[in-house]
Structure 1
Amino acid sequence: MIRDYYNRHALDEKLRGAPRPPGANHLAIGHRQAIAMVLASAGEEDAVERLLSSVTEFAVRFSAPGEWLAVSENDTPEGLQRRLDTLCSGRAHIVDQSEAHVLFRLSGPSTRRILAKGIGVDLHPTAFVAGASANALCGHISVNLARTGEDVFELLAPRSFAESLFDDLMTMGREHDLTAAFAA
């Protein structure tokens, strides 16, 4: 038997219908971004970290010692992998994670209060500065949390937990009139 499989986003069912205009507090769901895991070879951790810190074309987030996540809104997954392979020149292993993770971008004046309901990380601007990232639990779901702006946070979550995280974030943001839609 031949089956046709089609690629659909993990939150297509949740965000189906006419898009609503974003509110002051908004959850934008990444639809087409490239995500790659960079795993430094043994003894190359410092060199890879220096190389990754020099780039501005894509965001790099600390994930674990010798391990980073690279996120690009402009590259294809293959393009990001080629860039990283060229940049790291054999010092790291690059693994595409684009289909394995979902990007949640939470923005607005109440983002810290919304996230504080489910994340046990100090989100004060002096403790979690712009550009910082950390692995954390949001409720029961493991995420990579990054602060990308003054009142902007991004969460990378495994695709299999996307619906649950979406429901949790919408519940956490209910009193702050959180809206949600796919990112433009």
Structure 2
Amino acid sequence: MVRDYNNRHALEQKLRSAPTSPAADHLMVGHWRTMATVLARAGREETVREAIAAQSDLPMRFSAPGEWLVVSEVEAPSGLVRWLEELCDGGAYVVDQSDGRVVFRIAGPNVRSILVKGIGLDLHPSAFTVGGSTNALCGHIPVNLARTDEDTFELIVPRSYAVSLFDDLMKMGRAFDLTAAFSD
């Protein structure tokens, strides 16, 4: 028996009838993003961190000591893995995470008020600066949270939690008329 499996985004059903014009507070879901986990070998953590940080088009998200999540909007998965392996020069293990994670980008003037309903972190600009990232819980869901701009945050979540996180974020943003759609 031959089976044909279609690769569908985890939120295809939820975002099928998304609004055409975003509200002031808007949740964008990365349709397909390339990302990889980089785990530095013992003693090579600083060398690996510096090598990747020197690349302005490879945003790093802290995951754990000596471990980062690297996201790319332009590289294919195999290209990103190859590029990271070359940059790290044998100093790290690189694993493609593209099919296993979903990227949420939430932006707007009320983004902190929305996120504090589910995330127990101080999101004030002086405490959580642009470029900062950490692992956190949004309700009961594990996320990697990063502040990417003044009023923009990214949440990276395992694919199996994407629908639950989407539903939670939409409930958290209901008072602010949060809209959602796939990003380009």
Look up the SS of the partner of 2:12 in the other structure. coil
CA shift at 1:71, angstroms?
Answer: 0.2
- Structure 2 alignment gaps of length 5 or more: none
Contact 1:101 1:159 in 2 (8 A): yes
Structure-2 change in CA distance of 1:65 and 1:128 (3 Å): same
CA shift at 1:17, angstroms?
Answer: 2.5
Contact 2:18 2:180 in 1 (8 A): no
Contact 2:52 2:58 in 1 (8 A): no
1:65 and 2:70 aligned: no
1:47 aligns to what?
Answer: 47
Number of residue pairs aligned between Structure 1 and Structure 2: 184
Structure-2 change in CA distance of 1:7 and 1:162 (3 Å): same
Superposed, which structure 2 residues align to 1:100-139 within 5 Å?
100-139=100-139
Spell out, residue by residue over 1:131-177, the C-alpha distance to the aligned partner (whole angstroms, 9 max, x if none): 00010000000000000000000000000000000000000000000
Look up the SS of the partner of 1:168 in the other structure. helix
Superposed, which structure 2 residues align to 1:1-184 within 5 Å?
1-17=1-17, 19-184=19-184
TM-score by length of 1: 0.98
Give the Cα–Cα distance (whole angstroms) in 2 for the partners of residues 111 and 17 of structure 1: 23
Contact 1:145 1:156 in 2 (8 A): yes
Letter in 1 for 2:97: Q
Give the Cα–Cα distance (whole angstroms) in 2 for the partners of residues 18 and 169 of structure 1: 15
CA shift at 1:20, angstroms?
Answer: 2.4
Give the Cα–Cα distance (whole angstroms) in 2 for the partners of residues 63 and 83 of structure 1: 20
Contact 1:58 1:73 in 2 (8 A): no
Percent identity of paired positions between Structure 1 and Structure 2: 60
CA RMSD of aligned residues (A): 0.8
CA shift at 1:18, angstroms?
Answer: 5.4
Report runs of 4+ in structure 1 exceeding 2 Å deviation: 17-20
